[in-house]
Amino acid sequence: MVHRLAGLLFSFRGRIARDQFWARFLGTVGTFVLAILVANGVGEQHPYLKEGNWKMLFVPIGIVAWLAFFWILLTIHVRRLHDLDCGAIFLLIHLVPIIGPIVALIVLGSVKGTSGPNRYGPDPVGSTNAVANAEV
| 118 DSSP β-pair partners | 121
Report the SS3 class of residue 122. Answer: coil
How far apart CA 55 and CA 62 sit, in angstroms, is 10
Please state the pTM of the whole predicted model: 0.78
pLDDT tens sequence across 11-33: 888 899 999 999 999 999 999 98
At 54, give phi and psi (nearest 5°): -65, -30
Residue 118 φ then ψ, to 5°: -130, -170
Q: Three-state SS for 105?
A: helix
Sign, Cα dihedral of 83, 20, 29, 102: positive
Instruction: Using DSSP, state whether 10 is helix, strand or coil.
Output: helix
Q: What is the pLDDT of residues 70-83, one digit of tens each?
A: 999 999 999 999 99
Using DSSP's 3-state secondary structure scheme, residue 121 falls into: strand
pLDDT tens-digit readout, 86-111: 988 899 999 999 999 999 999 999 99
The span from the CA of 59 to the CA of 66, in Å, is 10
Structure confidence by residue, pLDDT tens digits, 45-66: 666 555 666 666 667 777 888 8
Q: Which is higher by pLDDT, 19 or 40?
A: 19
Confidence of residue 132 (pLDDT cuts 50, 70, 90): very low
- In 3D, which of 34, 9, 27, 25 has the Cα closest to residue 105? 25
Measuring CA to CA, which residue among 120, 108, 131, 111 is closest to residue 25?
108
Name beta bridge partners: 121.
118
